[in-house]
Chains A and B, each alone.
Chain A
Amino acid sequence: MTRLTRLTLTTFLSAGLAAGAVAQETHPETGEALAADQTFTYRILDNISSIDPQIVEDTDGSDVVRDLFEGLLNQDENGELVPGVATDWELSDDKMTYTFHLRDNAKWSNGDPVTAGDFVYAWRRAADPATASPYQWFISLMKLENGDAVVAGDMAPEELGVEAIDDTTLEVRLTTPLPYFPQMVVHSTTFPSPQSVIEEHGSAWTSPENFVGNGAYVLTQMNPGESIVREKSETYWDAENVILDKSVALIINDENVALTRYRAGEIDMTDIPAGQFPRLRDEYGEEAHSFPKLCNYYYSFNLSESGPEAFKDPNVRKALALAVDRDIIVNNVMAGGQPPAYVFTPEATAGFDAPATEMAGMTQAERDAKAKELLAEAGYGEDNPLSFNMVYNTSEAHQKVAVVLSQMWKQKLGVQAQLSNMEWKVFLEERGNQNFELARGAWCGDYNEASTFLDLLQSDSGYNDGKYSNPEYDQLLAEALTADDTAPLYTKAEEILAEDMPVIPLYHYAGVYMIDDSLKNFPVNNIQFNWYSKDLYKAAE
């Protein structure tokens, strides 16, 4: 064998071995073979509001921010808290002071260490009126000491109840015990931000060339109207356990186009348009997913002075709620595995036991009979038919639901409901000013706890557009703020709602998605849908 041949042979052999090694790369825990291309591509509806953790306000934006920054705590695939920058925390005896211990190996993408001071800077920044963050109210919600005064501009941001004891110890002082406080530091508003970079570049610090983050990924491309690309950060403290190299959000406005591009293999995950789930389930089997989401869908009665006289009678409200066949709405209209709702709070919410309401226990025939009875009792019937106007924001799915509702009421109770739809901002304005009779409403929980929903119907809640007010209900929620065991209080609150029926709960949302088989570990059991690219990976086909 000549020297040259030997050399060529060795080169080929080693190249072959190297190629073999790449092909055989496996998941460290499950041992599955991994795909060579670890890129996750998914669809979002629109441009995101910002990638500044203290400014971002939309869900799609928060998903991106959760990859680019890491807060004190993260959630695992079931929504349970796991360490983030903080490894653990202590709660004082009066339950109002939290002390977080931070890991000493967390780094920014420019190599600087992540310190407790970065959190203090970020939290003050969120509260500072000069930042003009739309999520400034989150600081009030966190009940931080002096939070309200700083937000109102009556105190300097330095007075906020958060302090760096040393580089790895963060002390947080609250004004009242808040059992779900640790859940709140999973929210992007509480993520650290890089003071030196923000001071150097001002509002341009979020562009890819200036960007510095402490998350598992860094921002590499931001193409408005087209895509957002983030790539694995080598400075992330746990980078060796991050498998996915790249996460790409494609902005595709039309959900049917997105579905076509999913079929063409261009994207790994996209929303299923309303009503198409059963068909796609037949065609794709396990790739079509439906899982409960922390959101509800309802109609609220206008109970304020400007509302119709008829709705002041609880019997009328109950009759309308009873006559709705929710199974038809979830199975025939939405058809995406949404659970029917007989209570306001989604039943999947942590620490919430839905009461066994009378309505939930009846058959639809019994409900219809009871509805007729109640409406007659209230004085409405053939000679005095009930009629009202119902509004929803313009959307095909909302229209279908509204048409079905009005048909059910017409056929079963002889009620005349006129439908009208409004463009989103007009709708919010009209509903917020009580210029409606019956209006669509929906809410997605800010954190996984029943109060995020029940608070909406408190007398002084800014979102209580129907102006429902019941002192007993308000009292229960006030008690729940400091109670050790909140579940019975929330159950009682729902019982009051079932009796007063200020809103008609229709269904609870489901996340209905096509997810490619090769994408693993997507947290379908995390009801808040908080996902982290660092936990995902792609298996070889």
Chain B
Amino acid sequence: MLIYILRRLLVAIPTIALLVIAAFCMMHLAPGGPFTSERPLPPDVLANIEARYGLDQPLWKQLWDYFANIVLHFDFGPSFVYKDRDVNDIIATGFPISLTYGSLAFLAATLVGVALGIAAAIRHNTWVDYFAVSLGIAAQALPNFIMGPILILTFTLWLGWLPGGGWNGGQWQYLIMPVIALSTSYMGSIARITRSSMLEVMNANFIRTARAKGLPQRSIIWRHAMKPTLLPVISYLGPVFVYVLTGSVFVDLYFSTGGLGQAYVNSALTRDYAVLLGVTILYGALTVIVNLLTDLAYAWFDPKIRY
């Protein structure tokens, strides 16, 4: 097991390095650069700026220096666009924000989704099932860019209960709308997967055996049906966790939360090379770690899986 984890982590290093090289090449292939502007800078001025950021060096040298700075100083370089800030600083301010509302949205989506799915499955073909299924479909059909405007109109403009955006150090009033907007569509999917998985498990032979043995329904569900039901859910949750952290661009833009998603997209549009690479590495590392955790969770949920 330990060897398995170590092996996976070792493989992660070349994976992330390849990711950086690919991102670096694609970035330099895109037309324009960080200092392309409406008023083209005079050649002297442009040369001064490029020298300052090392962009006058050959590409392989830039890539080499980049890796060297990370390995030796853990320095991801300066932002080319926000001149007062560097990448470490941008990640240090943005990531905790994304992580906070992302984790809350993930928790909300999982808890509510699983509960809805189970309720629907054990009360199969009753009003509970229909209600849960309709709610799940409605939630799934409302992606965050639809939920955002609906929430702001309702809670900010009509009811006046919640501030229309901002973060303010993560006070609860500022968290509610981003969390709801981000979690609803995942919640719908989780409910749907849980329901169909549970229905399948409840028809399995070992459940029939448990019933025949005369076990009470509660014990059947919690002790026997739960773990196998959650297996497909877990394989879905891994990517969802990464999505809620990385795919939160819309929430950042819409609710002015100051999270990392906005910085990421902006860095691509403004060709802020260092920020783009830095956040790519972070997201890449995150994906690798979450995938590993998902695989480990499998082993716990399914005794048939051994590493």
Interface positions of A (Cβ within 8 A of B): 46-47, 49-52, 55, 57, 129-130, 132-134, 136-137, 140, 151-153, 203, 206-207, 223-227, 250-254, 256-257, 260-261, 263-264, 266, 423-426, 428-430, 432, 443, 462-463
C-alpha gap A301/B32 in the complex (Å):
22
Given contacts A250-B165, A425-B31, A425-B269, contact A50 B83 (CB under 8 A): yes
What band does the interface of chain B fall in when counting residues whose beta carbon is under 8 Å from A? 35 or more
Q: What residues on B are CB-neighbors of A254 within 8 Å?
A: 253-254
18 A-B pairs, CB-CB below 8 angstroms? A46-B266, A130-B52, A132-B53, A134-B35, A136-B44, A136-B45, A136-B48, A137-B41, A207-B84, A226-B256, A226-B258, A260-B156, A266-B156, A423-B269, A425-B269, A426-B31, A429-B31, A463-B39
B32 near A425 with CB under 8 A, answer yes
Q: B167 within 8 Å of A by Cβ? A: yes
Q: What residues on A are CB-neighbors of B262 within 8 Å?
A: 225, 253
| B120 shortest CB reach to chain A, Å | 35
C-alpha gap A224/B258 in the complex (Å):
6
B83 near A261 with CB under 8 A, answer no
B157 near A224 with CB under 8 A, answer no
C-alpha gap A257/B156 in the complex (Å):
11
B30 near A225 with CB under 8 A, answer no
Q: What residues on A are CB-neighbors of B30 within 8 Å?
A: 425-426
| A179 shortest CB reach to chain B, Å | 22
Identity of the chain A residue whose Cβ is nearest the Cβ of B44 in the assembled complex:
A152
Q: B82 within 8 Å of A by Cβ? A: yes
B84 near A260 with CB under 8 A, answer no
B36 near A224 with CB under 8 A, answer no
Given contacts A52-B83, A425-B271, A428-B37, contact A226 B257 (CB under 8 A): yes
C-alpha gap A226/B94 in the complex (Å):
10
Q: What residues on B are CB-neighbors of A225 within 8 Å?
A: 94, 252, 256-259, 262-263
| A132 shortest CB reach to chain B, Å | 4
Q: What residues on B are CB-neighbors of A429 within 8 Å?
A: 31-32, 36
* Centre residue among A153, A251, A253, A426 by max chain B CB count within 10 A: A253
Other-chain contact of B44, A134, A153, A251 (Cβ < 8 Å): A153
C-alpha gap A254/B82 in the complex (Å):
20
Q: B19 within 8 Å of A by Cβ? A: no
B48 near A430 with CB under 8 A, answer no
How many contacts A-B (CB < 8 Å)? 146
A463 near B38 with CB under 8 A, answer yes
B84 near A226 with CB under 8 A, answer no
* Centre residue among B53, B156, B270 by max chain A CB count within 10 A: B156
A206 near B84 with CB under 8 A, answer yes
Identity of the chain B residue whose Cβ is nearest the Cβ of A141 in the assembled complex:
B42
Other-chain contact of A49, B49, B81, B152, B259 (Cβ < 8 Å): B81
Identity of the chain B residue whose Cβ is nearest the Cβ of A140 in the assembled complex:
B42
Q: What residues on B are CB-neighbors of A264 within 8 Å?
A: 156-157, 160, 164
Give residues of chain B (132-181) contacting chain A, Cβ–Cβ below 8 Å: 148-149, 152-153, 156-157, 160, 163-167
| B81 shortest CB reach to chain A, Å | 7
Q: A136-B42, A252-B165 are in contact. List 13 more A-B contacts (CB 8 A).
A: A49-B81, A49-B82, A151-B44, A225-B258, A226-B257, A250-B166, A253-B254, A260-B149, A264-B157, A425-B269, A425-B271, A426-B31, A429-B36
Q: B40 within 8 Å of A by Cβ? A: yes
Q: What residues on A are CB-neighbors of B163 within 8 Å?
A: 266
B256 near A50 with CB under 8 A, answer no
B48 near A129 with CB under 8 A, answer yes
A134 near B40 with CB under 8 A, answer no
| B95 shortest CB reach to chain A, Å | 12
C-alpha gap A51/B83 in the complex (Å):
9
Q: What residues on B are CB-neighbors of A425 within 8 Å?
A: 30-33, 36, 269-271
B256 near A55 with CB under 8 A, answer no
A261 near B165 with CB under 8 A, answer yes
A424 near B269 with CB under 8 A, answer yes
C-alpha gap A126/B277 in the complex (Å):
29
Q: What residues on A are CB-neighbors of B90 within 8 Å?
A: 224
Q: What residues on A are CB-neighbors of B53 within 8 Å?
A: 132
| A152 shortest CB reach to chain B, Å | 4
Q: What residues on A are CB-neighbors of B52 within 8 Å?
A: 130, 132
C-alpha gap A430/B38 in the complex (Å):
12
Q: B15 within 8 Å of A by Cβ? A: no
Q: What residues on B are CB-neighbors of A50 within 8 Å?
A: 82-84
Given contacts A224-B82, A257-B165, A261-B165, contact A134 B256 (CB under 8 A): no
A137 near B45 with CB under 8 A, answer yes
C-alpha gap A24/B229 in the complex (Å):
69
Return the 3 tightest CB-CB contacts between A and B, nearest first: A425-B32, A225-B258, A132-B52
Identity of the chain A residue whose Cβ is nearest the Cβ of B156 in the assembled complex:
A264
Q: B8 within 8 Å of A by Cβ? A: no
Other-chain contact of A252, B49, B148, B256 (Cβ < 8 Å): B256
Other-chain contact of A223, B40, B148, B157, B167 (Cβ < 8 Å): B167
Q: B51 within 8 Å of A by Cβ? A: yes
Q: What residues on B are CB-neighbors of A432 within 8 Å?
A: 36, 40
C-alpha gap A206/B82 in the complex (Å):
12
Q: B208 within 8 Å of A by Cβ? A: no
Q: B69 within 8 Å of A by Cβ? A: no
| A122 shortest CB reach to chain B, Å | 16
| B5 shortest CB reach to chain A, Å | 35
Interface string of B68-90 (1 = CB under 8 A from A): 00000000000001111100001
| A445 shortest CB reach to chain B, Å | 12
Q: What residues on B are CB-neighbors of A256 within 8 Å?
A: 149
* Centre residue among A46, A55, A226, A264 by max chain B CB count within 10 A: A226
A251 near B256 with CB under 8 A, answer yes
Other-chain contact of B31, A203, A224, A430, A443 (Cβ < 8 Å): A430
| B31 shortest CB reach to chain A, Å | 4
C-alpha gap A425/B94 in the complex (Å):
25
Give residues of chain B (6-45) contacting chain A, Cβ–Cβ below 8 Å: 30-33, 35-42, 44-45
C-alpha gap A507/B280 in the complex (Å):
42
Other-chain contact of B48, A132, A257, A263, A462 (Cβ < 8 Å): A132
| B165 shortest CB reach to chain A, Å | 6
Q: B93 within 8 Å of A by Cβ? A: yes
Give residues of chain B (242-258) contacting chain A, Cβ–Cβ below 8 Å: 252-254, 256-258
Give residues of chain B (39-67) contacting chain A, Cβ–Cβ below 8 Å: 39-42, 44-45, 48-49, 51-53
| A123 shortest CB reach to chain B, Å | 16
Identity of the chain A residue whose Cβ is nearest the Cβ of B145 in the assembled complex:
A254
Other-chain contact of B167, A130, A134, A226, A423 (Cβ < 8 Å): A226
Given contacts A226-B167, A227-B166, contact A426 B32 (CB under 8 A): yes
Other-chain contact of A55, B32, B83, B94, B156 (Cβ < 8 Å): B83
* Centre residue among A52, A261, A263, A429 by max chain B CB count within 10 A: A261
| B276 shortest CB reach to chain A, Å | 13
Give residues of chain B (263-283) contacting chain A, Cβ–Cβ below 8 Å: 263, 266, 269-271
Q: What residues on B are CB-neighbors of A250 within 8 Å?
A: 165-166, 256
| B36 shortest CB reach to chain A, Å | 5
Other-chain contact of B157, A253, A263, A430 (Cβ < 8 Å): A263
Identity of the chain B residue whose Cβ is nearest the Cβ of A431 in the assembled complex:
B38
| A532 shortest CB reach to chain B, Å | 22
Q: What residues on A are CB-neighbors of B40 within 8 Å?
A: 432, 462-463
Other-chain contact of B258, A203, A223, A430 (Cβ < 8 Å): A223
Q: What residues on B are CB-neighbors of A430 within 8 Å?
A: 31
A260 near B164 with CB under 8 A, answer yes
| B163 shortest CB reach to chain A, Å | 7
Given contacts A207-B84, A225-B263, A226-B166, contact A260 B157 (CB under 8 A): yes
| A209 shortest CB reach to chain B, Å | 13
Q: What residues on B are CB-neighbors of A252 within 8 Å?
A: 165, 256
